[in-house]
A and B are shown apart, each in its own frame.
Chain A
Amino acid sequence: MRGSLALASLIRHRARTVLAVLGVAVAAAMLLDMVMLATGMRESFRELLLSRGFEIRLAPKGTLPFDTDATIPGVGAITATLRVNPDIREISPVLGASIHILAGNRDVSGSALGIDPRVQGDYELLSGRDVTRPDAIVVNDHLLSQVGASIGDTLVVATGYDAQTRTYSGQRKLVVTGRVKFIYGANDQSSSAMRRETLEGMNERSRDRASLFMVRVRKGANAEAVRDWIDEQLPNVTAISIATAIAQVDERLSYFRQLALILGAVSLFVGFLLVTTLVTVSVNERAGEIAVMRAIGVSRSHVVEQIVLEGVAISFAGAVFGLALGLVTARYLNTILSAFPGLPMAIDFFLFQPRAAWSALGLLIASGVGAGIYPAWRAASLPIAESLRREAIA
């Protein structure tokens, strides 16, 4: 009976109920968005790092992968050292360089990765063939459109440019064999990949050097333990596990997490305030009704229950609409933030994670309960005779 009483009471004041539900929905949407923002980047980045299954990355000492132009010498020696550890399954050395593609009298600059196609974890082949030949190159769509080329075309690629003499060094003709999507690439970069030996050959200074090693551990092995072992064995490189990488990116993007926390807390508070206000006004209006219910023998807790149910109903309905609204606004906000320069395309700032989302919305509904309890209890505790007298005068 209490449930139907609560529902009937809400239906009686339709406009008020609709507005309150709308208000809670907006608060719920913001809360959801902030929860998605707080955890999104980290999860998204982690999924990205794990997408090819390489748990550890080796970068030049004191740097993050591709943060600087520095390279690691002794690829052969390092690979040999790493192979000793039975927990290491695969090693993928990657060499990064800037390139210039000479298209007529134009110079299109971009980046190139020198990889081993058997163990590479940097790109996905969209069409064509991988770099199985020494003179093969695969490129992303941005570079293709910049150069105006297609699969099968030959490109003149150089790794060096002397601004004083205006000459190119390390030139080579390479055939575009495939179209790829770079997993860690930003959407506004012209990127390509070729065999590592090819890129080394185009730049003497890069011989036997790598910008980065990607390491895959055996299934069931402890990645952190392997990382510590690499640290001991190779003091001239920095070994970064996924946890470390995430922690470092976290630090750089900590601003968004803090913003998310603050705005999320504010949303929760506002939702709470809204329900409290609604319940307070509602019980103030029905002071006489409440007094009569008490007079005919309805217990205080049952009166409170009925009133609190109204608050819960509004919070619940608001949470449901807020979920839909939140997902839409999150998509819009994500589009804005995806324009960050140099950010991998695959990173999402707002990621929907069911557990976090349900917890947040559950918290909102629980706060709806809390919001209703105090005004309801106060109203149900008013002296009955006095309330009746006041109602009679009114």
Chain B
Amino acid sequence: MSAGVESSIVSLRDVRRDYALGAERVHALQGVTLEVERGDYVAIVGPSGCGKSTLLNLIGVIDQPTSGTIAIAGKRVDAMSDREATQFRLRNIGFVFQRFYLLPILSALENVALPMAEAKVAKVARIERATELLRYVGLGNRERHRPSELSGGEQQRVAIARALSNGPTLLLADEPTGELDARTGAEIISLFQRLNADGTTIVVVTHDEDLASAARRKVHMRDGKVVDA
């Protein structure tokens, strides 16, 4: 499911991220250096407020560092324009959120097809691929259902299928089991393992011990720094 030539998919060098919170200045990341190899399955763990979500957002090119460099699949992403970053995300990054964030007005199939529509994939092709993806995540019979008609676990699986729709280099997940009960969470964990076994490079941020244990590598963070990679 992933593509690419070099072995290091994600490369962060001395990345810092500061932002203003009212009158104060928050140092969310204080010089993070990190590498993620192709085919790796990394879990970033740490207490609340340690900067793990901030780190994930930077890797996912939905935020920009205050300083430092970030390269994804060999391409520098830390200083991209909005347009370049958007295009890059569309084709290279798949994002899964804690709260699923499916569009409520679209069916499961349409939600999965949305990124492909943006990438100008022909209608027939994108319907076909979306169907295939939904089958892959075990929702082949729920294509026409709206998110409100799906359980939490089903919604998250649709979200994962959506993240995979343009065949991304990298799959990022921010607390993907945060809103799910233990049993459903276990289903998602197993899906991630299957994805990684099929070749997808995955980086997850999580409090969930089970999810963290299922990963191949754990990166511990504290106070904006990587303490153990």
Contacts and interface: CB of A to CB of B under 8 A. Distances in A.
Interface of A: 1, 5, 8-9, 11-12, 288-289, 292-300, 302, 383-385, 388-389, 391-392
Given A385-B57, A385-B63, A297 B98 contact: no
B101 A289 contact: yes
Given A9-B105, A12-B104, A384-B62, A297 B119 contact: yes
B106 A296 contact: no
B217 interface: no
18 contacts: A5-B106, A12-B104, A288-B99, A289-B101, A289-B103, A292-B103, A293-B103, A295-B60, A296-B89, A296-B95, A296-B114, A297-B118, A298-B114, A298-B115, A298-B118, A300-B82, A384-B57, A384-B63
B156 to A, nearest CB: 14
B114 A8 contact: no
B63 to A, nearest CB: 4
Which of A294, A295, A297 has most B Cβ within 10 Å? A297
List 5 tightest A-B contacts by C-beta distance, closest first: A297-B90, A8-B105, A385-B63, A292-B101, A384-B62
Contacts of B36: none
Contacts, number: 73
B86 A385 contact: no
Contact of A296 (B57, B82, B90, B98): B90
A297 B83 contact: no
Contacts of A1: 114, 117
B12 interface: no
A290 B97 CA distance: 14
B199 to A, nearest CB: 21
Given A292-B97, A297-B91, A299-B83, A385 B62 contact: yes
Nearest to A2: B117
A300 to B, nearest CB: 6
B20 to A, nearest CB: 11
A69 B89 CA distance: 85
A388 B86 CA distance: 16
Contacts of A8: 105-106
A5 B105 CA distance: 8
Interface string B42-82: 00000000000110010010110000000000000000001
B119 A388 contact: no
A385 B54 contact: yes
Given A295-B62, A297-B90, 13 more contacts: A1-B114, A288-B101, A293-B103, A295-B97, A296-B90, A297-B86, A297-B91, A299-B86, A302-B118, A384-B62, A385-B54, A388-B97, A392-B99
Contacts of A288: 99, 101
Contact of B87 (A9, A11, A297, A388): A297
B147 to A, nearest CB: 11
A134 B14 CA distance: 113
B105 A383 contact: no
A133 B87 CA distance: 91
